[in-house]
Amino acid sequence: MKANEEETTCFFLFLSQAGRGTVKAQSGFNANNDAETLYKAMKGLGTNEATILQLLTARSNAQRQQIKAAFKTLHGKDLVSELKSELGGKLETLIVAMMATPVMFDVTSLRNAIKGAGTNEKVLIEILASRTQNEIREIIKTYKQGENVCSLVYVVCSCCAQALFNAGEKKFGTDEDQFITILGNRSAEHLRRVFDAYMKLSGHQIEESIQRETSGGLRDVLLAVVKCARSVPAYLAECLYNSLKGAGTDDATLIRIMVSRSEIDLLDIRAEFRKSFATSLHNMIKNDTTGDYCKTLLLLCGGDDA
């Protein structure tokens, strides 16, 4: 497939995903009215958390940005700072995440993942494997130390290519640079055809080779790339399930996926979750979280598929 054909495929895939989110823009939206409602919910003694969470989950991210601007104009205060001072704990983290633009939310998540002594590879893998090429370009553009993210993206792609090269070199004499080109610059549709061809040549799925030939973090990177090429919603449904299963909750992953996909494909993620795990995302959230934090997540979830 030629480059322009791949771009056309990606465009129609984007169109097919449009409207698959659970959060929609509110018709008849008025930023000033919403800013006033939030101001009243936070002024005086006590905070009306119910008003805050119900309003913000019923507005698109673009509308939330307009509310932030209106709040600043009307009251001379930063809305996010006010929310931080009035809320606390996991609810605060969730609401603040919802107030960031999508690209800034990803950039902040990546920055937090690579700062300090250790690197949270799980966050890097999840974000970089599941975002489109255009989204990654926007992340790099927005990130103030863009060369670090560029290096990070290259490392992920190079790791994938190296593992496949090592696994396939003896059989096919594969060129390492070709693998880097394929994994770093091809559409998901193209990769799916590569995987089908691999199946015909080797007699087994590419995931089997990855499981057999690699281990640890490298295996996680490779499997994430393949899973996202096959189905981003299925991959993220698995990530959500892992964040909720067992003792304790991985709230950072839960918040990151629920917020970042709420306007993109959360309906598809819910469907994949129900199909793969014989329970609904709504039900697991309800059983694993509490209070206004739980209520906000359920509003983002948008319904139960039980």
Q: Which pLDDT belongs to residue 246? A: 85
Please tell me the predicted confidence (pLDDT) of residue 193.
87
Confidence check: pLDDT of 4 > 80:
no
Q: How far is residue 261's CA from residue 263's CA, in Å, rounded to a whole number?
A: 5
**Residue 182 confidence (pLDDT):** 54
Which pLDDT score, from 0 to 100, does residue 93 have? 97
Measured in whole angstroms, the distance separating CA 254 from the mean position of its chain's CA atoms is 10
In this prediction, residue 137 carries a pLDDT of 82
pLDDT (0 to 100) of residue 13: 46
Model confidence band, residue 180 (pLDDT cutoffs 50, 70, 90): very low
What backbone torsions phi and psi does residue 119 show, to the nearest 5 degrees? -115, 130
* Residue 124 burial (10 A CB sphere; 0-12, 13-18, 19+): buried
Q: Are 139 and 106 in contact (CB under 8 A)?
A: yes
DSSP 261: T
DSSP per-residue letters across 118-150: S--HHHHHHHHHHS-HHHHHHHHHHSTTHHHHH
Residue tagged 């009251």 (tokens): 75
Q: Per-residue pLDDT for 155 more than 70?
A: no
In this prediction, residues 214-237 reach a mean pLDDT of 87
Residue 87 — φ and ψ, nearest 5°? -105, 180
Read off the pLDDT of residues 32-78 as tens digits, 9 standing for 90 and up.
999 999 999 999 888 999 999 999 999 999 999 999 999 999 999 99
Least confident segment among 26-40, 147-161, 198-212, 291-305? 147-161
Nearest partner of 16 among 278, 283, 279, 232, judged by Cα:
232
Chain mean position to CA 306: 23
pLDDT band at 176 (very low <50, low <70, confident <90, very high): very low
Alpha helices in the chain (DSSP H): 3-17, 31-42, 49-56, 61-75, 79-86, 89-99, 102-114, 121-130, 133-142, 146-172, 176-185, 188-202, 206-213, 216-230, 232-244, 251-260, 266-277, 281-288, 291-301
* Distance in angstroms (rounded) separating the CA atoms of residues 239 and 277: 12
Across all residues in the chain, what is the average pLDDT? 84
Sign of CA pseudo-dihedral 129, 133, 135, 139? positive
> Picking from 22-26, 126-130, 162-166, which range would have the lowest pLDDT averaged per residue?
162-166
- At 113, is the secondary structure helix, strand, or coil? helix
pLDDT at 251: 97
Tokens encoding 160: 């994938």
Checking if the pLDDT of 240 tops 90, the result is yes
Instruction: Please give the structure tokens belonging to residue 62.
Output: 């673009």
Q: What percent of the chain has pLDDT over 90?
A: 54
Q: Token digits for 283?
A: 């039900």
Task: Map residue 25 onto helix, strand or coil.
Answer: coil
Range among 13-27, 200-214, 238-252 with highest mean pLDDT value? 238-252
Predicted confidence at residue 138, as pLDDT, reads: 86
Residue 172 has pLDDT above 50, yes or no: no
Mean pLDDT of 19-36: 95
- Lowest mean pLDDT, pick from 33-42, 189-198, 227-236, 238-247: 189-198
User: What residue type is assigned to position 31 of the chain?
Assistant: A
What's the half-sphere exposure (Cβ side, CA atoms, 13 Å) at 20?
19
The reported pLDDT for the residue numbered 140 is 82
Q: pLDDT band at 174, cuts 50/70/90? A: very low
pLDDT digits (tens, 9 = 90+) for 98-118: 999 999 999 999 888 888 777
Work out the angle between the directed axes of helices 251-260 and 89-99 (0-180°, nearest 10). 30
Which residue in 275, 273, 293, 276 sits closest to 284, CA to CA? 273
Q: Per-residue pLDDT for 152 more than 60?
A: no
The pLDDT value recorded for residue 8 is 45
